[in-house]
Structure 1
Amino acid sequence: MHRTETMHRIALLALILAGCTQATSAPPRTAPDARAPVNGAALAPPAAATDALERALRERIAREQAEVAVSFVDLETGRRLSINGDVVMHAASTMKVPVLLEALRRNDEGSLRLDERIPVTNEFRSIADGGRYSLSPDDDSDRDLYERIGQTATVRELLERMITRSSNLATNIMLERFPAADVRATLARIDAQGMTVLRGVEDIPAFERGMNNTTTADAFARVLEALARCRLLSAASCETGIEILAQQEFDDMIPAGVPEGTRVANKTGWITRIQHDGAIVYPPGRAPYVLVVLTRGFDDTDAGDRLGADLSRIVWQHVTSDAFALPSETGEAAIDSLIALHGSVLVPEVGYRRVPHEHYWAALAPYLGGPVQREEVGRSAEGRPLYLLRFGNGPRTLLLWSQMHGDESTATMALADVVRLLHESGSRTRLWADSLTILMIPMLNPDGASRFRRHNMYGIDINRDARRLSTPEARTLKSVHTRFQPDFGFNLHDQNPRTRVGNAERTAAIALLAPAADEPDTDPAVATRAKHLAATLRNAAEAIVPGHVTRYDDSYNPRAFGDLVQQWGTSTVLIESGGWYDDPEKQVLRRTNFVLLTRAFDAIATGSYLDTPVERYTQLPENGRAVRDLVIRNATVVIPGLQPYRADLAVDVSDGPLARDQGSIVEIGDLGGVLARDDFDAEGLFVHMLPEALDQRDGRNALRPGAAAAFVVRAGASPDSRPVALFQGGRLIRLPQ
C-alpha cells in the first residue's frame, strides 16, 4: 500500500473513533504497484521464443532433399529469423512484387496513374541482344489478357493481373512503361538489393546468357516488410498494394498453413524445380508478420507445396502463442509494429470526421459482445444513449473518454479501431485482459456530434461542467469515474489545427498534458505517474510526427474534467490532436492516436512507462499561438470601381486546414510577421476579387474582413489576363504556367 493511502486511512479511522459524523471526501486513489506480476503471468524470453521457432523450422526442412531458404519478420515484436536467407535463387514471379511497388511509388509522385490506360501489346525487347520477342499464352497463367491485344487496359488492372494471376504479359507491359533499372533503384531504397530485377519474363536470349532476375529470402522479406510497414509509399498506396496481394489466386503454400479466413497478402513464383512464396500474414489481434519460403530442387511440385504449408503452419503456431506476446524492440521499431497493427484492425466505415452517433455504433456492432461489453450508462440532453465499453478484468483500471466536444472526433475514430483490436483475441490483447480493465466512452457528446459542434444541446461546454454537473453528459462521466475509480485516465480531444510548435514555423500535430500537480488535494504521486506516461507517449508520437509534438497549457482549471479527474486520484493524460499536412479527415492523426493508446496499454500493463524520464514530457515545447491558413503577400488587390491597392491578405478556412470548404479573408493590410501554413508571394501579381467576396450594401464594392475568400490571382490588372492561382475548395491552387 502506498504511504499516501495509508495516511488517509489512518486519518479516516481517527475520525470514526472520535465519533465524528461529518461527511468526508474519498481519498485520492493510488494505482497498484505498476511493476507487480499480473496473475503470475510470465513471458518467455524473446531469444528463447525465436530459438524454439528456428529449431522447429530446421527440423521440418531437414526432411527434404531440396534447398530451402526461410526469412521471417514479426512486425509485432521486431524479431527476425533467417535460415539460408542470403542464398541467391532465381526469383521466378516473386520479382513482380517490386514491379508493383515501383508502379505504386510512381502513382504517389504523379508520374503514373492507376486509372491510366496502356496499350496491350505482345512485343518486347530482349536485354541480351535487343531483339524483339513475344510471349505465348500457353506459358502464361493468365490467358485472357492475350485476347485484348491491340486494346487498352488500366494500370490497376494490369497490376492486379500481374499479381493475382501472375500474368507474364501484364508484367512485361508494365516494364515497358518504366525501366527495370527504376525497379532496382526502388529496391535499393528499402535495402533489398539482394533482389535483382533485370528484365521482363520469358526473355529467352537473356536467360541463355544467365541474365536472370534473382532474389534471396531476406531481400524478398524486406520488400514485403516495406509494404506492410508503409515505409516507401503513401498510406493509400500501401493499402492498395496489400489488397492486390490479398486477392492472390495461388494459395497452396503459405496460405495453406494458416487457419481458413486469415488475411494473407502473398505472391508465389515457380519455374522448373523452383517454388517460392512470400506473404504478409495477419493473425487476429496482433500486428502481421512476414514469411518468405524459397525452394530449389523439388521435382514434385506437391512436395514443395506441402513443405511451404508446413513451414507456414509452424510459424503460425509459434507466433500466436504467448511466447511472442511482447515486443522485444523499442523506439521506432516498436512503433512500426503498432502502425502495421493499425492497418489490420482499421474500421473502414468510420473513415471521416463527421460520423453520426447511430452510424458509429452500427460500425462497431460486429466487434461488441464477447471480450468487449457495452453498457448504457446515461442519456444525452436529446435522449441519445451514452455507452460505456469494457474490456478485461485486470487490476489496473483505465478510463478513456472522447468527443465531449462534438466537433472533436479524431480519437473517436481511433477508439473504433481499438475496439476491433480488443475483439480479435491475440497474445497482446490477452496480456491486456489479464493486466488491465479498459473502460471507454467513445462519444460523450452525441448531440454535438450529430451537428458537429462543440457544445451540447444546452449550449454548455461539457469540459467546463466538471464542478457544477449541469449537463447529463457531465453527470454520466462523473458517475462512471466514481463507480470505477480508475487508476489512469485518457482525456481525448482535438485542438486548433493551426496551433504552432512554440515559436517554430510548423504546426502541432499532437499536444500532451499531464494536468497540474501543485493544486490542493492532488496527490503528487498521481501526477508523477501521469508525467511518466505522457513522456512515454511523447516518444511514440515523435516516431510518427517528429518535431510536431507539444505540451498543452498546464494552467489549472477547476471546472475542467482533466484537472479534476487527476485531483480525484486518477493519473490523467490529455491528448489533443491538431492538424497534419493534406489530411482533411485526420486519418494520419487517427492512426497516431491508435498507436499512442496501444503503446500506453503496453506500457501500463508492463509498468515500463515508469522507465521513461519525466523530462521527456516536461521539456516538450509548449503550444504556440495559431498561424493563419494562408497569407498572400505583396499583392495588388483589384476591386471593380476602386483603384488597385497594395496589401497582404490572410485567409482562414472555417474548419481550419482540415476543411475543403470556402474560407474567409480575416485580415487585410501589412501582415509582416504573420505566419501561415501556406505562404504565397504575389509580388508583381494581381488579386482579382470575385463578386461573392464583395460587400455591395451601399451600392459600391467594398472588401471587409470576414468576406468570403473568392478571388483569382492573375498576371495583370485586366480581368482577362493570365490566371496564376485561385482559391478553391479551402486552399490556394497554383495553376500550371
Structure 2
Amino acid sequence: MPHPVRWGLAACVALSLTACTATSGEQPPTAATTPGTTPSPTVASPSPAPAVDHALADLEDELDARIGVAALDTGTDETVEHRADERWGYASTVKVFVVAELLRTTTAEQRAEQVTWSQEDVDAAGYAPVTGDHVDGGLTLDELAEAAVRDSDNAATNILFEHIGGPEGLRAAFERLGDRTTEPARTEPDLNTVEPGSTADTTTPAAFTADLDAVLHGGRLDPQDVDRLVEWMTGNATGDALVRAGAPDGWTVADKSGGAGALRHDVAVVTPPGREPIVLTVLTEREDADAGSADALVEQVAATVLDRFR
C-alpha cells in the first residue's frame, strides 16, 4: 500500500554508546517508579529475528538494562521484537496518541479556536516550556497539539486530555484501534509514576507499534491530519539523540520520546529511501542511567534493530 505522506529531515548516525552525550529536551519527573515485567495478556507475537534478539540481550546484560522493542516493516510485514509483550510505563510517548485522538475528533475550524489556561494549570503540570510563556493570551488547539508533540509540554497535553474525554476517552481511542493492552489512567504529571505491580498508565512495545501503525496507515485520520501529525513528530525537539541518532544516514525519522525516572523511550516511524516506512517502538529501563547514557541506550537499540532492515 503506498504510504500517504513523505517525511523530510535526514537522520544522523551516531552509533557509539560511549560517544553520545546528547541529552533530551524533556524534563522527566523525579519520583517515577516502574512496573516490573508483568507480561501483556492479550498479544501473542512471532519470534524475533534471532541475531537482533541476542544482540539486545547482550546489551541488557552489559548495561544492566531492560529493553523492549517492536518493529514492523510496513512494506514486507517483517517484524523484529524483544520483550515485546512486557509492560512499561509509557511516560510522554502517549502524547502522540492524545494528539491523534484530538485530530480525529475535531475539525480544523475547532482547532483554530483560541484556548486559555491559568498559571496554576502550568504549575501543576510540572513541565510547560510553551504554555508557560502564553498564560496571558493562550494558544489555539493546533498550537497546543504541536507543543505536546514537539516540546512534550505537559500543560498542553492536559488541555488536550480535556478535549478528548480525559484518560477514559483515550482508553476508548486505544480500544477503537484494537488495543486492549494499554491502560490510560491519569494525566500529567501523575501518569509518569507507575506503582510496582500496577498496570495503570502502561503499555507494551507490541501494542504501541500496532497503535502507531493504525493511526498513521490505517485510515483512522484524514490524510491532511496524518501529514500534520507526522510533521510535528518530524520536528520534535526531544528526539535528536534517540531513534533519529541511531538511524542509518538518509533514513528519515518522525518520533515522540518519553522519559521518567529509570525509563527512556521513543516511538517512531522510520522511512528508508524508496521504501515503505518502519514503525518502531523502543522502551528502555536502566536504574543507574543519567540522561546522556539513557539516550545512548535508545540510540544503540535503534541502530541494532534498524540495521536488520537494511
What TM-score does the superposition give when structure 2 sets the normalisation length? 0.75
Distance in structure 2 (CA, Å) of the matches to 1:240 and 1:174: 16
Aligned equivalent of 2:42: none
Gap change, CA 1:310 and 1:211, over 3 Å in 2: closer
C-alpha contact (below 8 Å) 1:50/1:79 kept by paired residues: no
Q: In structure 2, what residue type is equivalent to 1:259?
A: P
Instruction: Structure 2: give runs of 5+ residues left out of the alignment.
Output: 1-45
- Is this contact kept in 2: 1:293–1:308, CA < 8 A? yes
The equivalent of 2:209 in structure 1 is 221
Once the two structures are TM-superposed, the CA of residue 62 in structure 1 deviates from its matched residue by: 3.5
Aligned CA distance change for structure 1 residues 119 and 253 (closer, same or farther; 3 Å): same
* AA partner of residue 81 (structure 2): S
CA distance in 2, matches of 1:112, 1:198: 29
Partners of 2:265 and 2:87 in 1: CA distance: 12
Letter in 1 for 2:82: I
Deviation at 1:96, TM superposition (A): 0.6
List runs of 5+ in structure 1 lacking aligned partners. Answer: 1-46, 125-132, 321-737
Match of 1:613 in 2: none
Q: What corresponds to 1:81 in structure 2?
A: 80
Which secondary structure does the structure 2 equivalent of 1:99 belong to?
Answer: helix
1:267 positional shift: 0.8
**d(CA) in 2 for partners of 1:225, 1:208:** 29
What's the CA shift string for 1:560-613, capped at 9, x where partnerless?
A: xxxxxxxxxxxxxxxxxxxxxxxxxxxxxxxxxxxxxxxxxxxxxxxxxxxxxx
CA 1:227/1:178 → structure 2, altered by over 3 Å: closer, same or farther? closer
Aligned equivalent of 2:304: 314
Paired with 2:190 and 2:109, the residues of 1 have a C-alpha distance of 25
Question: For 1:91 and 1:203, how far apart are their aligned partners in 2?
Answer: 12
Q: Deviations over 1:170-195 (max 9, x none)?
A: 00111122312121111111122322
- Residue 290 of structure 1: aligned partner: 279
Query: Amino acid of the residue matched to residue 262 of structure 2?
Result: R
What is the aligned counterpart of 2:133 among 130, 147, 156? 147
Distance 1:112 1:194, change over 3 A: farther
Residue in 2 that maps onto 1:57: 56
Distance 1:156-1:315 versus aligned 2 partners, 3 A rule: same
Q: CA RMSD in A?
A: 2.8
1:296-346 Cα shifts (integer Å, max 9, x gaps): 2332232222221112112222212xxxxxxxxxxxxxxxxxxxxxxxxxx
Partner of 1:233, secondary structure, is coil
Which residue is equivalent to 2:293? 303
- Superposed, 1:13-412 pairs within 5 Å as 50-107=49-106, 110=107, 113-123=110-120, 134-135=123-124, 139-140=126-127, 142-179=128-165, 180-203=167-190, 212-250=200-238, 251-300=240-289, 301-320=291-310
Q: Distance in 2 between matches of 1:86 and 1:314?
A: 19
State the alpha-carbon separation in 2 of the partners of residues 211 and 48 from structure 1. 24
User: What secondary structure, in the 3-state scheme, does the structure 1 residue paired with 2:225 have?
Assistant: helix
Change in Cα spacing, 1:83 to 1:316, as seen in structure 2 (3 Å) is closer
Aligned-partner Cα distance in 2 for 1:208–1:195:
16
Contact 2:130 / 2:147 at 8 angstroms: preserved in 1? no
Partner SS state of residue 62, structure 2: coil
Q: Percent identity?
A: 28
| 1:345-391 superposed Cα distances (whole Å, 9 cap, x missing partner) | xxxxxxxxxxxxxxxxxxxxxxxxxxxxxxxxxxxxxxxxxxxxxxx
Runs of 4+ in 1 over 4 A off after TM superposition: 206-212
SS of the residue corresponding to residue 110 of structure 2 reads: coil
**Residues 514-560 of structure 1: per-residue CA shift (max 9 Å, x gap):** xxxxxxxxxxxxxxxxxxxxxxxxxxxxxxxxxxxxxxxxxxxxxxx
**Amino acid aligned to 2:305:** V
For normalisation by structure 1, the TM-score amounts to 0.33
Length, aligned pairs only: 260
Structure 1 counterpart of 2:138, which letter?
A: T
Aligned 8 A contact 1:282 1:289 in 2: yes
- Over 3 Å counting, the alpha-carbon distance change for 1:104 and 1:309 in structure 2 is same
Aligned to 1:676: none
Instruction: Write the mapping of 1:438-477 to structure 2, written as runs, cut at 5 A.
Output: none
2:130·2:151 contact (CA, 8 Å) conserved in 1? no
Q: Is the 8 A contact 1:93 1:166 kept in 2?
A: yes
Superposed CA deviations along residues 72-115 of structure 1, whole A, max 9, x for unmatched, are 111111022321112111111011111011111113xx497331
Pairwise CA distance, 1:162: 0.3
Quick check: 1:227–1:241 contact (8 Å CA) kept in 2?
no
Q: 1:211 deviation in Å?
A: 8.4
1:82 match: secondary structure = strand
Q: C-alpha displacement at 1:196, in angstroms?
A: 2.1
- Give the structure, 1 or 2, with the largest relative contact order (CA under 8 Å, sep 6 or more): 2
Equivalents in 2 of 1:231, 1:61: separation in Å? 37
Q: Secondary structure at the match of 2:162?
A: helix
